[in-house]
Structure 1
Amino acid sequence: MSARSAKEPTIYDVVELPRGEQDRECQCWTGPPPRTPCTRDADVVAVYEATMREDDDDRDNIVACHDCAPSVSPTVQAQLREHPGQVNYGTAPEALDEATLTQEYRELNERRFSHTASEADRERRQQVWNELLERTDVEQPECPECGSHRWGFTDHTECTDCGYGPTDPELLGEIQSAWEQITAAGGDD
């Protein structure tokens, strides 16, 4: 009898639980042996490699709390980075590293400005942008109308809190500069 080495399963994705599923308990086991079931409420669902056989691509999922939730495997993140034109719809923006997140934002922005973005692309772009904002300490300029520091762009630049559309070239330049800093955080240009 040979000893089998335990291999961590590949984690393909980790996303927030869908509505209506939030009343489930975490399915993970915690602590030192003998481990005990975690009894916290589940927050996420993780998709993982269900078999260790190389000729089998079975996947399964597990619900987990944020404390027990696994991270997307580094090899999966590397594969996502290798395909820059790919949008990772099945992967929560929170699970992506900064380089992949920035690359995805640039691809979605390119689709937007070339008028090829679908509704799903627009929604994903907003999710990715929000995640980029969460990860940066770059402060956008203050809105002269309401004092907010959140700017957006539809067909023009506007404050996302009050709708003010600046026309001052200096303020527009400061907003653009902040956006460039935010989207350059994980990139290499």
Structure 2
Amino acid sequence: MTSKDKLNIIGLCGSLRKGSFNHALLRALPDLAPQRMTITEGPAIGAIPPYNADVQNGDGFPPEVTALAEAIRTADGIIIVSPEYNYSVPGVLKNALDWVSRVDNQPFAAKPVCLQSVSMGQLGGARMQYHLRQIMVFLGADVFTTPEVFVGAGHQKFDKDTLALTDEGTREFAGKQLAAFADYIDRVSA
């Protein structure tokens, strides 16, 4: 097994809400990552129009989709941090994945993907992660499995004013997942 000196990771958030705990978790990850891992936010998915095959076949892919696909392609791995809406994947995230799924040279094919979620409830977004794993399987991604990060009672884990991740147990566990994800990328990319 050969490990890369540096890992370029793109983070995607499935929430558009300004005060999103999921986005707050994504912003906390660079400080929790192993030294050789750089985590940057990928292109925003909120501006991607609803998927429409007529638009794809007529005008082609919107620039926001092309930018997202290219960011995924060039990254060593992807971290998706998302809330759970109605026991599943938020529509804005599903829409972005629907668009990217139609791009030639599938960006997610054999791409290491790590999932995280935050919720106000105790399950921490587990049902969303289950559905998202199914979508990733269809796209041919290499989905990292364990340890999993489900942050329950999110409103108790972040500073109410700054949204900084203050819960030490969550910080420690997310850091362990990122270290294991780095090792996973080495294994599946060798």
Length-normalised TM-score, structure 2: 0.26
Structure exhibiting the larger radius of gyration computed from Cα positions: 1
Give the number of the structure with larger relative contact order, counting CA–CA contacts within 8 Å between residues 6 or more apart. 2
Length-normalised TM-score, structure 1: 0.26
Q: Which has the higher helix share?
A: 2
